[in-house]
Amino acid sequence: MTDDLKILESLKDPSTKELAFRHLISKYKERLYWHIRKIVLNHDDTDDVLQNSFIKIWNGIDGFRAESSLFTWLYRIATNESITFLNLRKRKSMSGLNDESQYLIDNLESDTYFDGDAWQQLLQKAIATLPEKQRLVFNMKYFDEIKYEEMSQILETSVGALKASYHHAVKKVEEYVKSHETRIEP
């Protein structure tokens, strides 16, 4: 029996549910953390979203039907929570849809836990200017190297549409980096 199946079995028993859930958190916390971090950029926001995601997972674990893999399901919850978080911040700040990029860039610049050099900051700014779906696809493909088939289950989008999104995202990021590269101090 795979580890995920063992975890799921233990989660069904009320006497072992908490221990099994701790094991689940240990196994997936870092992967989910970095996935969320690339979406919301700021560490404190990531911590909030990660906590909310695991609470949602705890509440919904009894209804998990294993139609997809456990990781796919966890990843999907984390993605949706990240998007919900950003939408909420957008509404609270009363800014328009176009200002999400600026919010993310401001978040990046104010984050004390960003250690990247000028080029890496430029790359992150380029990614921040992408539309939401393209940004998700780009991060999952370029940084996490997730296969399109798995990404399709996480984002509930066809493989063809994901490939098109990634293609357009790469082009936009390349253009942004090249047009702003000369401004980076050596």
Partner 1 sequence: MYEEDQIKPDFGKHPQNPFRTPDSYFESLEDRIMGNINEKSKKQSSIKKIIRLMKPVLALAASFALIFMLVYSPIHDFLLKDSVQTTETETTNTDSLNDFSINLASMDENSLINAIFSDDTNIFTDSDQDDFLAYLSSGLNEVDIYSEIQN
- Which residues of the shown chain bind partner 1 in the complex (CB under 8 A)? 18, 21-22, 25-26, 29-30, 33-34, 37-38, 41, 43, 47, 50-51, 54-55, 58, 111, 113-117, 119-121, 123-124, 142-143, 148, 160, 163-164, 166-167, 170, 173-174, 177
CB nearer to partner 1: pick between 7 and 173: 173
Q: Which H helix or E strand runs over 151?
A: helix 148-155
Distance CA 179, CA 167 (A): 19
Amino acid letter for position 25: I
CB nearer to partner 1: pick between 95 and 160: 160
Query: What is the closest distance, in whole angstroms, from the C-beta atom of residue 165 to partner 1 in the complex?
Result: 9
Query: What's the sign of the alpha-carbon dihedral 166, 168, 171, 173?
Result: negative
Closest CA to 77 of 46, 62, 55: 55
CB nearer to partner 1: pick between 12 and 22: 22
